[in-house]
Amino acid sequence: MGNGIVHQAKVVDWQTEEIKRHVGSETFRTVESGLMHMRQLSSLQIAAKMKMAIENRSLLATKWLLDHKAAPTTTDLARAARFKTLSIVQLFLERGVPITHGAALWAAVRHRSYACLDLLIDRKANVDAFGMFAYNSALAAAVENKDTRCVKKLLEAKANPRSIMSNGSTTLEYAELQRQRWPETWKTIADLLQFAACKPAPPAPPAPAPVMMGSPTASNVRALSLRALCS
């Protein structure tokens, strides 16, 4: 039992040292002792500490910052996807960071962070939203990367195969042009986009039945019967 307590104490010490290393010993000490609230730091200071924790892939430091009222942003989520830290991406999503903005999805594709891409798609991220620098979508980044795996995943998630790219062309036009130059390299991506573009649109949902006000009188019943026969 004594050995277990010693081992647990060593784990706690190791965790404390990791958090200190990423958020700063002074910040850790004053916040933990209650002498300072995290919100007394400027937004730039908090952002810098969050950036360091994410880029060093420290889940412990990131969680400590969140537990002490640091507010994560879509930029933080995108940075976690860029550094392929699935655990931090999951943590941010659990803490309510919105995924309607395309930055995180774009970063996951641009840096081939496949596990993060799968998670964001599973959580219903907007696959057509513009990403970093607001000039193209995740699909455009995948096409520019010649990343067949990402292209396939995004098209399966119903991404627009004619997404606009930074050069003004659509992803389909760009892939077709590249296929003419390098047919073996671009055939699969161009075929995937062409197939997605040719898929018929899903049928529109049926119109709701008309609502009759009041009780079903004889005239109302006759009107409904005639409408059913004529439809």
Q: What is the pLDDT of residue 111?
A: 95
Hey, what are 27's tokens? 């910040």
Q: What is the pLDDT of residue 135?
A: 64
Query: CB–CB of 69/75 below 8 Å?
Result: no
Closest CA to 24 of 7, 2, 12, 41: 41
- Model pTM above 0.85: no
Hey, what are 202's tokens? 């899903």
Q: What is the pLDDT of residue 19?
A: 81
Average pLDDT for runs of 10 along the chain of length 231: 44 68 72 64 84 92 88 93 96 93 93 97 93 77 95 97 90 95 94 90 61 51 46 48
Q: What is the pLDDT of residue 189?
A: 97
Q: Which residue ranges make up each domain of the chain?
A: 13-70
Query: CB–CB of 130/136 below 8 Å?
Result: yes
